[in-house]
Amino acid sequence: MNAMHEDIKTILYSEEQIRARVKELGAQITKDFEGSMPIVIGILKGAIIFYADLMRELDLAAQLEFMIVSSYGAGTTPGQLVFKKDTDANLEGRNILIVEDIIDSGNTLYLLKNELEKRKPAMVKICAFLDKPARRTAQIKADYVGFVCADEFVVGYGLDFAEKYRNLPYIGVLKPSVYEK
Ligand code: IMP
Ligand code: MG
């Protein structure tokens, strides 16, 4: 028995549901970005699984780039963005799509979008696999969302708890006993 699966209380989105939704997102993004070669920026590590699936649903020539960022907020203010890995791609005049695992407070994406706007792209759009609107404090909205989910801590499909569960193929809610350990 796989120890990861035993820690999951409920499955929120199955592999089949995810596959179908990513296909729909891919079709929508393909349509919206038609005729341009967007720079698609994956935010590591959380977005990696979603990113890899989504990219193969885009019927577009795209440039693949990655960043590692974290935000340190002070209370309800968006705070400071730290680039642990930036991209050296020239964004000027380009269409940018940021791909993120989840929007929670929205701080990370709020700060990141502002930073990228300074590099004079033609446009910046955001695609988040999950959206937890209940916890939003920053003024930011994703242009594309896989699923809107309730305010529960979820893991799998790239999302972790203490660096574990990222490679679960579905989105699940952890058993409380796992946190309480
Ligand atoms: P925020 O939108 O700036 O608050 O931060 C979003 C980041 O917090 C995501 O990129 C995740 O790394 C992490 N995060 C938020 N909610 C969850 C969750 O339910 N499970 C796992 N990671 C989460
Ligand atoms: Mg993250």
- Residue 78 sits in a domain whose CATH number is 3.40.50.2020
With bands split at pLDDT 50, 70 and 90, how would you rate the model's confidence at 150?
very high
Look at residue 73 in the predicted model and tell me its pLDDT: 64
Q: Please state, in angstroms and as integers, the Cα–Cα distance from residue 16 to each residue in 12, 22, 131, 158, following that order.
A: 12, 10, 19, 16
Q: Whose CA is closest to atom 8 on ligand 1?
A: 104
DSSP 8-state symbol, 110? H
Residue 162 lies in a domain: no
How many domains are contained in the chain?
Answer: 1
Give the pLDDT confidence score for residue 179 in this predicted structure.
81
Ligand nearest to the CA of 43: 2
Question: Which ligand neighbours the alpha carbon of 106 most closely?
Answer: 1
Residue span of the structural domain in which 87 resides: 14-152
Q: Has residue 1 got a pLDDT over 60?
A: no
Cβ(131)–Cβ(100) below 8 Å: no
> Among 179, 167, 123, 131, which residue's Cα sits nearest to residue 7?
179
Tens-place pLDDT, residues 30-67: 999 999 999 999 999 999 999 999 999 999 999 999 99
Residue 176 resides in a domain: no
Q: What is the pLDDT of residue 48?
A: 98
- Ligand 1 contacts CB of residue 103 (under 6 A): yes
| pLDDT attached to residue 162 | 93
- pTM greater than the 0.85 cutoff: yes
Note whether residue 30 is domain-resident: yes
Per-residue three-class SS string for 9-72: EEEEECHHHHHHHHHHHHHHHHHHCCCCCCEEEEEECCCHHHHHHHHCCCCCCCEEEEEEEEEE
Report whether pLDDT(120) > 90. yes
Percent with pLDDT over 90 in the chain:
87
107 touches ligand 1 (CB under 6 Å): yes
What's the mean pLDDT when you consider all of the chain?
Answer: 94
Q: What is the pLDDT of residues 161-174, one digit of tens each?
A: 999 999 999 999 99
Nearest to 31 by CA among 49, 11, 58: 58
The reply to whether 6 falls in a domain is: no
User: Is residue 2 one of the residues assigned to a domain?
Assistant: no
Q: Which residue's alpha carbon is nearest to atom 5 within ligand 1?
A: 104
